[in-house]
């Protein structure tokens, strides 16, 4: 492990346009359950019922009951972990160019990262489908105590600011992410299994554009063979030793 960390430090020392790409495993260390795999949220909640945009349009109460009982309590008490703060430190040192995240918990911003591209949105932001008024997660939760689904003062139904199944990724976020991927000199994967597309194509694009590719994930990924360095360890532990 010591030799591996030394190699990672060398890559970081020669890079000043690092893009960090974070997945569910990164937030798992803050107590937020992953969605896939044994014990993941989708093993308990069928995503075609609780997180599908067409089902949401038919009956949003399914999603909002899931938010009330599962998502809100977990995200409300979650705190940034060592990995989040390590990325903030890399940004302060002028090494980190962008954070691209698949996560929807907003913990990068809570930790202090200033340039975060959220591919799947942010569950802390809620908006009205009728008038576009924006509510905080706490405000939506309070409204849930009165009505299921929660409604805006105009009477419109509230929707989470996250990408549901059946919805496209926000084009602006995707465009910014692809620009960062093509311009980075190091692409650092942290806690992602690299199976969800189009995000999983980003390491390939970065590598083809000349970037060093480092993958830090507890389990192997489909792209390990093309990486310059693979570390099968928790992302927060690795980053805490890097700083």
d(C-alpha 91, C-alpha 227), whole Å: 23
Question: Which pair of structure tokens corresponds to residue 228?
Answer: 């310059």
| Other Cβ atoms within 10 Å of 132 Cβ, number | 10
Active site annotation includes 120: yes
Residue with tokens 């360890």: 233
Contacts of 139 (CB under 8 A, 6+ apart): 126
Buried/exposed 220-241: b ≥16 CB within 10 Å, e otherwise: ebebbeebebbbeebbbbbbeb
Beta bridge partners of residue 159, listed in sequence order: 127
| Other Cβ atoms within 10 Å of 84 Cβ, number | 25
Given the residues 55, 84, 120, 159, select the one marked as catalytic.
120
Q: Which of 191, 232, 229 is nearest to 213 (CA)?
A: 229
Q: Catalytic residue numbers?
A: 120
């Amino acid at each position: 492990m010591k030799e591996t960390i030394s190699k990672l430090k060398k890559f970081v020392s020669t890079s000043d346009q690092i893009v960090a790409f974070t997945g569910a495993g990164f937030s798992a260390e803050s107590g937020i359950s992953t969605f896939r795999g044994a014990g993941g949220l989708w093993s308990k909640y069928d995503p075609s019922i609780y997180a599908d945009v067409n089902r949401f349009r038919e009956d949003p109460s399914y999603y909002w009951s899931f938010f009330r009982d599962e998502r809100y309590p977990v995200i409300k008490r979650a705190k940034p972990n060592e990995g989040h703060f390590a990325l903030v430190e890399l940004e302060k040192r002028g090494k980190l160019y962008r954070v691209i995240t698949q996560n929807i918990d907003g913990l990068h911003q809570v930790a202090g990262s200033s340039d975060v591209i959220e591919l799947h949105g942010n569950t802390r932001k809620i908006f009205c489908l009728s008038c576009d008024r924006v509510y905080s997660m706490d405000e939506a939760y309070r409204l849930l105590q009165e009505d299921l689904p929660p409604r805006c003062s105009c009477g419109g139904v509230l929707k989470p600011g996250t990408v549901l199944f059946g919805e496209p990724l926000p084009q602006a976020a995707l465009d910014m992410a692809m620009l960062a991927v093509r311009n980075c000199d190091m692409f650092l994967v942290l806690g992602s299994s690299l199976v969800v597309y189009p995000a999983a194509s980003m390491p390939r694009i970065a590598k083809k554009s000349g970037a060093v590719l480092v993958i830090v994930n507890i389990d192997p990924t489909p792209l390990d063979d093309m990486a310059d360095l693979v570390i099968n360890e928790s992302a927060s532990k690795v980053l805490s030793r890097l700083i």
